[in-house]
Amino acid sequence: MSQRNERTDGHRTGGQSRARAQPQAQRPPGAGMSGAYDVVIVGGGAAGLSAALVLARARRTVAVVDGGAPRNAPAEHLHGFVSRDGMPPADLLAAGVAEITNYGAELIDDVIVDADGSPDDYALRLRRGGSLRARRVLIATGLRDELPDLPGVRGRWGRDVLHCPYCHGYEVRDQPIGVLGGREAGAVARAVHLALLLPQWSQDVIFFPHTMTLSEHDRVRLDARGVRVLEGEVARFVVDDALRGVELTDGRAVRRTAMFVAPTFRANDALLVTLGCTFDDNGWVVTDPTGRTSAAGVWAAGNVADPAAQVISAAGAGSTAAIAINGDLVLADATARVG
Ligand SMILES: Cc1cc2nc3c(=O)[nH]c(=O)nc-3n(C[C@H](O)[C@H](O)[C@H](O)COP(=O)(O)OP(=O)(O)OC[C@H]3O[C@@H](n4cnc5c(N)ncnc54)[C@H](O)[C@@H]3O)c2cc1C
């Protein structure tokens, strides 16, 4: 972060930012001669920062607006990103911010609350006031994990209450692990799937169906994987300075040092709705393989478009979108010249 300048208006730019040579009164810092950025990226997680790096290196004027709440913030370390395995999530983002600002991209600590417009003329309204103009928009706003509403769950989320064995399964290998079922929308099948996966990491896995009814098919498959099933509604996760287990409503207590849950994923897609993007039957934005949405000039990348994206694949999606956006701008400008 040594190259980073923090400004009181929430804008951060690097030491070599082209923005700083621009007269501030005439246009926003970082925006081009028209007063519009080539690209405004909403969301500065792995997807947004990765896109910003590619676009800034393509000498595009770029602003990243970020609300500062990346999804994996509760976790102490991030895993499965080759060359970054075990790094604190905030360190990855700090390194990304240093890189993008060094190429002249701007990071604005704020939230975009509204957006409208059309290609070459998008307006994105900032919560703190004012708005940014952009030729193209990339939405990389991530998703929210809606957790089971049980005492003890939220406080241990990302530590020993987990959802992703690829992120944290190795860290709880060979431990007594539980998986919480339940009737929350979309979570039932994923809870069983999680329980089927987890014997890869521990031979001591108990599935708590909780409020859901297990099919005979699932029961047989869980048994085949060596997963025990403990019927009964869970009353709470037992926690002191760490997770100790679960307590059922009939008073039984079961020791577990890690519990996996299947949150309901809610995309932070309000801006995509506002911008008129098409959504599929499951409620996820429709994109082409580059992240291009049905709204001209609007792309989506990372968890907002793909709930399965890990940090590395969210970063990859951001890079892919950035390359497509730059190509789109080049073609638009060439077409405008030849008519
Ligand atoms: C507890 C936990 C642990 C995890 N561990 C791992 C792991 O070890 N390895 C791994 O690969 N994956 C892990 N993941 C998954 C990982 O978090 C995601 O893959 C990754 O965060 C997706 O990146 P993203 O850029 O799409 O979204 P995010 O990282 O969530 O970034 C989105 C950003 O957009 C901002 N934003 C949202 N709306 C607005 C708005 N309107 N205006 C401005 N900014 C906005 C948010 O504040 C946020 O900073 C974990 C997830 C959780 C929940």
pLDDT in tens, 176-202: 999 999 876 567 789 999 999 999 999
Instruction: Identify which of 72, 85, 298 to mutate to test ligand 1's pocket (most ligand atoms within 8 A of the CB).
Output: 72
Q: What is the mean pLDDT of residues 201-207?
A: 98
Q: What is the mean pLDDT of residues 102-129?
A: 97
Contact 103, 114 (CB under 8 A): no
**Ligand 1, residues 71, 166, 171: which to mutate, most atoms within 8 A of Cβ?**
71
Whether residues 284 and 245 fall in one domain: no
Going by alpha carbons, the residue nearest to atom 20 of ligand 1 is 311
Q: Please give the average per-residue pLDDT across 290-314, as a whole number.
A: 98
Least confident of 30-39, 57-66, 121-130: 30-39
Identify the pLDDT of residue 2.
Answer: 32
Check whether residue 175 and residue 201 sit in a common domain: yes
- The total of other beta-carbon atoms located within 10 Å of residue 338's CB is 5
Cβ within 8 Å of residue 21, ≥6 positions away:
none
289 alpha carbon – ligand 1 mean position (Å): 20
Q: Which of 202, 232, 260 is the last residue of a domain?
A: 260
Residue whose CA is at the smallest distance from ligand 1 atom 33: 43
Last residue of one domain, picked from the residues 260, 286, 305: 260
User: Can you give the residue range of the structural domain that contains 161?
Assistant: 148-260
Q: With 90 as the cut, is the pLDDT of residue 278 above it? A: yes
Find the helix packing angle between 216-224 and 187-197, rounded to 10°: 20
CA distance 280 to 164: 24
CA terminus-to-terminus distance, the chain? 44
Same domain, 136 and 230: no
Sequence-distant (≥ 6) Cβ neighbours of residue 210 within 8 angstroms: 148, 180, 181, 182, 233, 234
The answer on 16 and 139 residing in a single domain is yes
- Please give the tally of structural domains in the chain: 2
Q: In the predicted model, what is the mean pLDDT of residues 301-326? A: 98
Q: Are residues 170 and 298 both part of a single domain?
A: no
Tens digits of residue pLDDT in 246-270: 999 999 999 999 999 999 999 999 9
CATH number, position 289: 3.50.50.60
User: What pLDDT score was predicted for residue 35?
Assistant: 77
Closest residue by Cα to atom 52, ligand 1, is 72
Quote the tokens at residue 30.
């970082």
Pinpoint the alpha helices (H) of the chain: 46-57, 89-102, 165-168, 187-197, 216-224, 270-274, 311-338
pLDDT value at 90 more than 70: yes
Residues 44 and 157 placed together within one structural domain of the fold? no
- Please, which pLDDT band fits residue 22 given cuts at 50, 70 and 90? very low
Measured in degrees and rounded to the nearest 5, phi and psi for residue 208 equal: -105, 100
- Asked whether residue 208 carries a pLDDT value surpassing 70, the answer given is yes
Q: Do both 241 and 275 map to the same domain? A: no
Give ligand 1 pocket residues (Cβ under 6 A). 42-48, 65-72, 74-75, 78-81, 111-112, 140-142, 145, 158, 164, 167, 268, 302-303, 309-312, 314
240 & 282 share domain: no
One domain, residues 242 and 317: no
Clarify whether residues 180 and 328 are in a common domain: no
Same structural domain, 249 and 293: no
Residues 138 and 285 in one domain: yes
144 CA → ligand 1 middle, Å:
9
- Nearest CA owner, ligand 1 atom 21: 71
**For residue 231, how far is its CA from the centre of ligand 1 (angstroms)?**
34
Q: Of 224, 239, 260, which marks where a domain is finished?
A: 260
- Which pLDDT does position 19 carry in this prediction? 33
Mean pLDDT of 109-120: 97
